[in-house]
Amino acid sequence: MSKQKTYDEINQKIADGKAVVMTAEEVSRMAEEMNPAEIAKKVDVVTTGTFGAMCSSGIFINFGHSDPPIKMKKVYLNNVPAHGGLAAVDAYLGATELSETNEKYGGAHVIEELIKGKNIHLKAFATGTDCYPRTEIETIINKKNINEIVMFNPRNAYQNYNVAVNSTGRIKYTYMGNLLPHFGNATYSTSGELSPLLNDPELRTIGIGTRLFIGGTEGFVAWNGTQFNTSKPKNEFGIPLSNAATIATIGNLKKMSADFIRAAYFEKYGVSLFVGIGIPIPILDEDMARFVSISNKNIETSIVDYGIHPNIVLGRVNYKELQSGEIILNGKKIRTAPLSSIMKARQIAEILRTWIKQKQFFLNAPVQVFPKNTSLNKLEVKL
Amino acid sequence: MKKRYVLTFPPHTLDEPLTYHIIKQYDVMINIINARVTAGEEGHLVIGMTGAKENIEKSVEYLRAKSVKCVSIKKHLKYSHDLCIHCGACTAVCFAGALKMIKPLWELRFDAESCTVCELCIKACPLGLFHIDFDE
């Protein structure tokens, strides 16, 4: 076993301006000629990135108190309902929540407009109490005139995801895009070798408290994401063959940029939010060097028929094949298309590198690692 | 020179063999890419014209004189490139190959002259960046 590096040693190198920081793509190319022991010796940090639609996202808001004050039981932002079942003037706006007047506009759009500093129409109702007598309010807010706006996303950055195809005779409108009939196309939504959780498949360095890039600013891993599943089958390189681990993320919306948070509408599915996330991976030892060396041809995922319920797995494919623009399933050539932006994922990995090189961003060990043996419950229909 | 146009015919022009006239008089090769013609209603035709530049221009003039709207594909299908995040969702439905991810940058490129105006990209773009413009 080669010499191990500690977080303190890596941070000292960052502080001294001596840290070697590479993107996950660069290190994958380097691994074609160097072994993990050599990479562990040479590289200190590897930066990753992803920019995809992540429905399980949203923001906590505190509006501040009016005079007289209102409890805000029902809250609407640009006609999009937010959840007001919290303390007075606190609310949570989910990205996929739809406007009551425009089915193509939702929480994600309000989030993007807040980031851009635009004015948002706020309407709220309450029953009125002795301490909060007001029953109705209508006003204009923006990110400067309200208190906190904290993005808290319960499930982001899936470690791998299915490839979607459609076996039926009709076009299917899904969160995996428009799937053409008779296997007319295949869509995938992971940045492959650049993807954060695929570069640390055992989640040794990504855990509660990990500092990360979110939406153009610094944020943190808050918890394991919902539907966190460590029991998915893995290939010989330790890569889960479909959607497995996830992270819950948190960050300050007021510091975010619309370059890395964008509202989306998927035809006949609904509204979602493109979220940019990047995580730096410390190369603590040879094992971590081996993990980040993974390349697209060794990252495999499952081809799933989204045309029928329950969805069934039809085959296995790797990201080199997916990114070539064409895969072969049962002897038939199928055109592939990405749904997450590789161009933006690269920008994110590059920005993270710049932050680290400029000594603005340091690494920390997880405050607590994620659970090791989790699987998912199925919702039984009992009544 | 080769150019693609979207033609919109008012109902009363459907009886006239306009494309025949263009071919005969201006020696322009016509390739019909997409056609939606219903009797008594407005007709839509996407055509590719190959020929001398001035002859294509004369053909367009002739069609316009016959009250046929003639919009170049580039003007007809508008794509807000500045707002694009280059996710690639539109390339999933573009069979004409007009929308492609260009490697190694993974940047979306829209080649209007390959577009067949099937309009599938309008629904496929999660940011709603494609628009049809019927003005000449």
pLDDT (tens, 9 = 90+) of chain A, 383 residues, equals: 557 999 999 999 999 999 999 999 999 999 999 999 999 999 999 999 999 999 999 999 999 999 999 999 999 999 999 999 999 999 999 999 999 999 999 999 999 999 999 999 999 999 999 999 999 999 999 999 999 999 999 999 999 999 999 999 999 999 999 999 999 999 999 999 999 999 999 999 999 999 999 999 999 999 999 999 999 999 999 999 999 999 999 999 999 999 999 999 999 999 999 999 999 999 999 999 999 999 999 999 999 999 999 999 999 999 999 999 999 999 999 999 999 999 999 999 999 999 999 999 999 999 999 999 999 999 999 99
Q: Name the closest residue on chain A to residue B124, using Cα atoms.
A: A178
pTM for the full model? Answer: 0.94
B106 vs A187, A263, A342: nearest CB: A342
Summarised one tens digit per residue, pLDDT across range A100-155 is 999 999 999 999 999 999 999 999 999 999 999 999 999 999 999 999 999 999 99
Catalytic residue (one of A1, A67, A131, A383):
A131
A55 catalytically annotated: no
| Residues of A in Cβ contact (< 8 Å) with B127 | 262-265
Q: Does B97 touch chain A if contact means CB atoms closer than 8 Å?
A: no
Q: How would you write chain A as a 3-class SS string?
A: CCCCCCHHHHHHHHHCCCCCEEEHHHHHHHCCCCCHHHHHHHCCEEECCEEEECCCCEEEEECCCCCCCECCCEEEECCEEEECCCCCCEEEEECCCECCCCCCCEHHHHHHHHHCCCCEEEEEECCCCCCCCECEEEEEECCCCCCCEEEEEEEECCCCCCEEECCCCCCEEECCEEECCCCCCEEECCCHHHCHHHCCCCCCCCCECCEEEECCEEEEEEEECCCCCCCCCECCCCCECCCCCCEEEEEEHHHCCCCCEEEEEECCCEEEEEEEEECEEECCCHHHHHHHCCCHHHCEEEEEECCCCCCEEEEEEEHHHHHCCEEEECCEEEEEEECCCHHHHHHHHHHHHHHHHCCCCCCCCCCECCCCCCCCCCCCCCC
Asked if B107 is an interface residue toward chain A (Cβ–Cβ < 8 A), one would say yes
pLDDT band, residue B134 (cuts 50/70/90): low
Cβ distance of A274 and B85 shorter than 8 Å: yes
Reading the block at residue A225, the tokens are 């994401």
Binary contact (A177, B92; C-beta < 8 A): yes
Cis peptide before B17 (omega within 30 of 0): no
Q: Which residues of A touch B91 (CB under 8 A)?
A: 337-338
Instruction: Please enumerate residues of A whose Cβ is less than 8 A from a Cβ of B.
Output: 51-53, 104, 173, 177-180, 185, 187, 262-267, 272, 274, 325, 335, 337-344, 346
Q: Quick check: B126 contacting A, CB < 8 Å?
A: yes
- Domains of chain B, earliest start first: 2-74 (3.30.70.260), 77-132 (3.30.70.20)
Q: Which residue do the tokens 């146009």 mark?
A: B5
Q: What is the ipTM metric for this complex?
A: 0.94
Report B:1-60 residues touching A (Cβ under 8 A): none
CB contact under 8 A, B86 and A342: yes
**Closest chain A C-alpha to B128 CA, distance in angstroms:** 7
Tell me: pLDDT of B13 over 80: no
Residue B123 forms contact with A (CB below 8 Å): yes
Whole-number pLDDT of residue A84 = 97
The per-residue pLDDT for A275 is 98
Q: How close does chain A come to B89, measured CA to CA in Å? A: 5
Does B86 lie at the interface with A, CB-CB under 8 angstroms? Answer: yes
Domain ranges of chain A: 7-54+154-357, 64-146
